[in-house]
Structure 1
Amino acid sequence: MRSARGSPGTWGRTRVMGSVLFLCHRMPWPPDKGDKIRSYHVLRRLAEHHRVYLGTFVDDPADWAYLDQVKAICADVCVCPLTTWAARWRALGALVRREPLTVGVYRNRVMRGWIEQLMVEHRPDAVLCYSSGVAPLAMPYAGLRRVMDFVDADSDKWRQYAQARRGPMGVIYRREARQLAALERTVAECFDASVFASEAEAALFRKQAPASADKVHGILNGVDADYWDPGLAGPSPYGPGERPIVFVGAMDYQANVDAAQWFAREVWPRIHASRQDARFYIVGSKPAPAVWALGQLEGIKVTGRVDDVRPWLAHAYAAVAPLRIARGIQNKVLEAMAMEKVVLATPSAWEGIDDFDGRQGCISDQPGTMADEALRWLELPRPARAAAARIRVLSHYQWARNLDVYQRVLVPSAMSHAAGYAGHAPSVGACS
């Protein structure tokens, strides 16, 4: 198995306040999809104030191109490839061991060896785990301050997947939901703090894990509002005379695939029957075959990956977020809001985002309601600008402010950075 290890980069020029081991299930660079957007900003903030030792995995070969940028801000890096077949083989092993398949995917000897060596040679002050699958890698180190960023409850996403599937896959998904729910409770009990991407998600987990309720925090995602600025969008990518509605996201992600299919087959026919000039654009990388097939339907276009999604958002009449399987705050919704777009969202897609005065669009999972709202905005001579949405982003979803809270949870001011390695020996029992 190949791993890439980094050497100290530019981190030495920052104002260092102790060291952090950051274990992440996917390389947090570039910020081109939901979970990587949050992990990217967390990594950048940590590197400004701490020596960061990053242990992570690459499941997309394109991410290797960004390794030097990651190494430049970290004290050391261990990156292990995660191929589809390797992941499936490890998941099968987890099935035999009666543990979550997700945990099996990240059971990696190279990563474990690197962590063990790091603990002996560098004595980090804290460990941050990002996504439940990597939490077992930190379980042996009970003497360390350990923080778990669940982002959202993976177990509930698997439960939602199970509800949408029958047969053997439904059985496997239900098993994974149960196993992950048990792991999430154990991790929350053993770790010093647990973090979720919204207060609503945190509140739900407190009910599921009441013994750990006082250690659970909701810390919002943010938006780079300087980047997601409608004034920087550039010319329209759409054809003359088109009135486009756009759905943006990674189109190999199961929740997005389901959302695109539902909107295309349940909502879109009602819209296109009334407006022949309306177009539904599905914009995002790696469309699954089921998504490509939607491009054969009248009035629907699938773009695949584009260099910059901002023009596609800025010049659309509305952005849709028709997710039916979702947890936590959806970055695609916040980005559309920052671009002053009318947003047509399902309740699942809007979860974790508080309503606000001046919001334009709809929050509904009824095809007729969403179609009627879309037609209302398509009647305008040009796309409306939802100024209140951007104002809301600027006041509540700025990364700098939200990451201040994040850093205080990870390294409380009372923590001594000179505590050394005492007590970092592997523990035994339920939390080992």
Structure 2
Amino acid sequence: MTDGVLFLSHRIPFPPNRGDKIRSHHLLRHIAGLAPVHVATFADDAADMAAEPELAALTASHCLVQRTKPLWRAGVEALVSGKPISLTAFRSSAVAAYVHKLIASGQIATIYAFSGQMGQYIPASFTGRVVFDFVDVDSAKFEAYAENGKGPRRWIDAREGRLLAAEETRLAARSQISLLVSNEEAALFRARLAPEIRGACEVRALRNGIDSQTFDPATCHPAAAMMQCTGPRIIFAGQMDYAPNIAAAMRAALRLMPAIRSRFAGATLHIVGRNPPADLTALSGQDGVHVWGAVDDIREWVAAADLALVPLDIARGVQNKVLEAMAMAKPVVLTPAAATGIGGEDGKSYAVGDCDAQLVGRMFALLADDLAALKMGENARRFVVDTLSWKATLAPLAGMLGLPQAANRHAA
């Protein structure tokens, strides 16, 4: 057996243009500098498939499969098999065959699995090291959906949460190390494990980082389209087909912006991110709300903002949108859920509001005081540059994988 690493990821880590892909992208690059890396992963669409040459250039071998299974079919398979929909949606005979052949070749010493959907591909017979990156506690997320849901959807989400909790326990017991994106998420994961295995499972935090050289306000120009709005500009950015982001955007548009515009009549809210749903897009052009959809370079849109708003009610793990805005020296107003795992200091690195009234109050204070907003943005950038670089956050990874540190090693 060599020192090869099999990297399992539910989405291709290229391009790094959404939260999960940003983390997996930097992880894969770091691991490729330590050992030959082989990747089994999925593409959501043609744009993902077009990134295959970048994946190939970094890896010793890879298997990239485009997902075409409709959600209804995954749901039927899940009901028949008694498994979570999250697993059946990512079940592929091609990926399973690739993993089986690669393991049988004796090239793999360690498996790094990224996201709970990929645990199904770890062979029971594999005797090497397994590091499982859950990122966040998916079962808790679906439980939260169920608590807020209605009708059949409530039952579906409750079932998903229950089955994923059992899968998380199984995978934690199977792995040498279980990783979560923050200390808070690790503590939650640990507390939810079955008591009989909790003491035997090693659960650690591996935080997200930020590329502060890329996200640097000195290196990009503000988006011209957004700059046409002359009043205070507030941005909410994220993948807009993700339920918590949709809920946060609707909250910002319908509940927070009317209060902001009662004092700052020219204030505008800019919702930026791929695949906004129709009910959100319908708000664009009304009451200062602009829904832009996908953009080429999110940095330009953050650069054009006076303030970043992140009013998430449900937030698992560390929010990349928060780190990016902080790196761009923007004052950020956010909920306690969105601040979890960031570090920093409320009132210095960002401003936390626990309810609509508090969020509005923190925004009022920053929009009315340019100097205070500037200082908070400067503090935010200094904090992420000093403490949250990817090099610093991923430094423990070699030891977790049982590999020596190696500089500038090429996997392919």
TM-score, structure 1 as length reference: 0.88
Q: Give the structure 2 partner of residue 426 of structure 1.
A: none
Name the structure 1 match of 2:259.
Answer: 270
Q: Say which of 20, 37, 40 aligns to 2:22.
A: 37
Query: Please, which runs of 5 or more residues in structure 1 have no aligned partner?
Result: 1-16, 415-432
Aligned to 2:383: 392
Per-residue deviation at 1:90?
Answer: 2.8
Structure 2: which amino acid aligns with 1:159?
E
Distance 1:361 1:401, change over 3 A: closer
Instruction: Find the partner of 2:327 among 325, 338, 342.
Output: 338
| 2:124 is equivalent to residue 140 of structure 1 | yes
Give the Cα separation in 2 of the matches to 1:108 and 1:374. Answer: 47
- Post-superposition Cα deviations, 1:242-292, rounded to whole Å, max 9, x if no partner, equal 210001111111111111011111111101122111111111122111221
Q: 2:392 aligns with which of 375, 386, 401?
A: 401
Distance 1:293 1:195 in 2: 40
Q: Describe the superposition over 1:148-204 as per-residue Cα deviations: whole angstroms up to 9, x where unpaired.
A: 100000111111111221000100100000000011011101111100011111111
> How far apart in 1 are the matches of 2:341 and 2:222?
33
In the other structure, the counterpart of 2:300 is 311
Other-structure match for 2:249 = 260
Amino acid at match of 1:32: N
Q: Is the CA contact (8 Å cut-off) linking 1:100 and 1:180 kept in structure 2?
A: yes
3-state DSSP class of the match of 2:152? helix
Q: Is the CA contact 2:352–2:362 (under 8 Å) kept in the aligned structure 1?
A: no
What pairs with 1:46-57 in structure 2 (closer than 5 Å)?
Answer: 46-57=31-42
1:208-234 CA-partner distances (Å, limit 9, x unpaired) = 225245511101100000001111121
Matched letter for residue 174 of structure 2:
C
**Aligned residue in 2 for 1:160:** 144
| Matched-pair identity in % | 35
CA distance, structure 1, for counterparts of residue 322 and residue 365 of structure 2: 20
* Alignment of 1:149 onto 2:133: yes
C-alpha distance in structure 1 between counterparts of 2:278 and 2:134, whole Å: 30
The amino acid of 1:410's aligned partner reads L
Whole-angstrom distance in 1 between the partners of 2:342 and 2:104: 43
Q: Where do residues 286-305 of structure 1 align in structure 2 (5 Å cutoff)?
A: 286-305=275-294
CA RMSD of aligned residues (A): 1.9
Instruction: Tell me: CA distance 1:380–1:358, structure 2 relative to 1, closer, same or farther (3 Å).
Output: closer
Aligned residues of 1:361 and 1:373 also touching (Cα < 8 A): no
Asked if the contact 2:65–2:95 (Cα under 8 Å) also holds between the matched residues in 1, the reply is yes
Alpha-carbon distance in structure 2 between the residues aligned to 1:52 and 1:352: 29
Q: Distance in 2 between matches of 1:60 and 1:324?
A: 29
1:99: how far off?
A: 1.2
Mapped partners of 1:376, 1:358: distance in 2? 11
Letter of the structure 2 residue corresponding to residue 51 of structure 1: P
1:186 counterpart = 2:170? yes
Measure, in 2, the Cα distance between the counterparts of 1:401 and 1:332.
19
Partner of 2:340: 351
Aligned to 1:14: none
Residues 139 and 116 of structure 1: CA distance in aligned 2, closer, same or farther (over 3 Å):
closer
1:72 pairs with one of 57, 62, 67: 57
**Shift of the alpha carbon at 1:410?**
1.9
Contact 2:350 2:380 in 1 (8 A): no
DSSP-derived class of the 1:93 partner = helix
Unmatched segments (≥5 aa) in structure 2: 406-412
When structure 1 is superposed on structure 2, of 340-349 and 90-99 the one drifting more is 90-99
Question: Match of 1:404, SS?
Answer: coil
**Aligned equivalents of 1:246, 1:219: Cα separation in 2:** 28
Structure 2 residue 218 is matched with structure 1 residue 231: yes
1:82 corresponds to: 67
Is this contact kept in 2: 1:357–1:388, CA < 8 A? no
Alignment-derived partner of residue 12 in structure 1: none
How far has the Cα of 1:377 moved from its partner? 2.0
Cα deviation 1:101-125 (Å, max 9, x = unaligned): 1111122111111111111224301
Contact (CA 8 Å) 1:24, 1:55: kept in 2 or not?
yes
Paired position in structure 1 for 2:409? none
Alignment CA distance shift 1:275-1:111 (3 Å)? same
One-letter amino acid of the counterpart of residue 6, structure 2: L
Q: Give the letter for the 1:234 counterpart.
A: H
Distance 1:127 1:338 in 2: 32
Letter in 1 for 2:364: L
CA contact (8 A) 2:36 2:60 kept: yes
Paired residue secondary structure (2:394): helix
Paired residues of 1:30 and 1:36 also in contact (CA < 8 A):
yes
Q: TM-score under structure 2 normalisation?
A: 0.92
Cα distance change on mapping 1:358 and 1:377 into 2, 3 Å: closer
Aligned AA (1:59): D
Aligned length: 397
Counterpart in the other structure of 2:410: none
State which drifts further: 348-357 or 157-166: 348-357
Per the alignment, residue 202 of structure 1 pairs with 186
Report the secondary structure of 1:79's partner residue: strand
Q: Is the 8 A contact 1:88 1:105 kept in 2?
A: no
Secondary structure of the structure 2 residue equivalent to 1:57: strand
Q: Distance in 2 between matches of 1:301 and 1:201?
A: 33
On the 8 A contact 2:353/2:362 being kept in 1, the answer is no
The letter for the 1-side match of 2:393 is N
**Structure-1 separation of matches of 2:175 and 2:229:** 56
SS in 2 for 1:125: strand
Alignment partner, residue 93 of structure 2: 109
Equivalent pair of 2:309/2:334 in contact (CA under 8 Å): yes
> 1:32, 1:225 → 2: CA distance?
15
Q: How far apart, CA to CA, are the structure 1 residues paired with 2:230 and 2:121?
A: 55
Q: Which residue of 1 is the match for residue 47 of structure 2?
A: 62
